Amino acid sequence: MARFILSAFSDEYSSELDKQIEGMVKNKVKMSEVRGVDGINVSDLTTVQAMDVRKKLDAYGIGVSAVGSPIGKIKITDPMDEHLDKLKHTCDLAEILGTKRIRMFSFYMPDDNYDNYRNEVIDRMGQMLDVADAYGVQLCHENEKGIYGDTPERCLELLKAYEGRLGCVFDPANFIQCGCQPYPHCFEMLYPYLTYMHIKDCAKNGTIVPAGAGIGSVPEILAIINNSRKGEDFILTAEPHLRVFDGLSALENGEMTTNIGNVFATAEEAFETAMAAIRNCYPRTAE
């Protein structure tokens, strides 16, 4: 069996770090994919602020599974030099936070002619990977609607272009948003490159729901990982999206493209439901 390790975007519990830690402890989650801290995006933290975050997390035995950065979430036509500087700073923050992974993206497309931007995307990805390699950090690409790598075919293209250098974050709900079938189509195509997962599920109508309640085939996917990666640690990062939370609009390029049911009275209730649902999707002996 795989050793599933639960992580979470704890800023969906609260925008305040102290309350995030409270939620993590309450739900027995020992890792965080740090994204928002006291209303500040993780890549905009100063090194001093990052040291404070690390100190507080360490005090409660909470590790950092990855930096949930916005790297690569710019238009493919935007200037690159400033963004590379942001990546270098994020790499510094990753070291302070005690992780070797940075979640990232492959640029927003200005129109539907994605093929026209393939060479520019691959070139820019290479520039970013050169920076990450110099810092000893792994960039992990997440599939997200509207970026170049939003389909499994284009994700695979990027992963093959940088074989062994670029990590793969698999998000079932994001594939559904793009009209792709997470399982078996997307999963079987990308599984050889899979680094870790974001656990987010959605119903046929596109509304985000707890893991296992939608069409993302989360239990089936986790069963395969559990049986095929015996003895390996495998991180599952909860990205609940069950209730609108502070900072969501900024994460979605100001457009609020995700259909969120918003049926939970509080962020705390939504987070707790999400964590319980994930645990119900795999054998408890695997955790």
110-131 pLDDT, tens per residue? Answer: 999 999 999 999 999 999 999 9
Amino acid 271: pLDDT: 95
pLDDT the model gives residue 265? 82
247 Cβ partners below 8 Å, 6+ apart?
Answer: 11, 15, 36, 39, 41
| SS3 track for 186-226 | HHHHHHHHEEEEEECEECCCCEEECCCCCCCCHHHHHHHHH
Q: Does domain 3-286 have CATH number 3.20.20.150?
A: yes
Cis peptide bond upstream of 152, omega within 30: no
d(CA 207, CA 225): 26
Going residue by residue through the chain (287 aa), what tens digit of pLDDT does each one get?
899 999 999 999 999 999 999 999 999 999 999 999 999 999 999 999 999 999 999 999 999 999 999 999 999 999 999 999 999 999 999 999 999 999 999 999 999 999 999 999 999 999 999 999 999 999 999 999 999 999 999 999 999 999 999 999 999 999 999 999 999 999 999 999 999 999 999 999 889 999 999 999 999 999 999 999 989 999 999 999 888 556 555 665 655 456 766 678 899 999 999 999 999 998 765 55
- Evaluated on CA atoms 125, 126, 131, 137, the torsion sign reads positive
- Confidence (pLDDT) at 120: 98
What's the pTM?
A: 0.93
Give residues with Cβ within 8 angstroms of 99, minimum separation 6.
63, 64, 65, 66, 67
Give yes or no for a contact between 203 and 215, defined as CB atoms under 8 angstroms apart. Answer: yes
The per-residue pLDDT for 244 is 59
Amino acid code (one letter) for 154:
R
Residue pair 218/281 in contact (Cβ under 8 Å)? The answer is yes
Contact 119, 127 (CB under 8 A): no
Distance between CA atoms of residues 179 and 207, nearest Å: 13
Phi, psi of 223 (to 5 degrees): -65, -40
Q: What is the pLDDT of residue 256?
A: 47
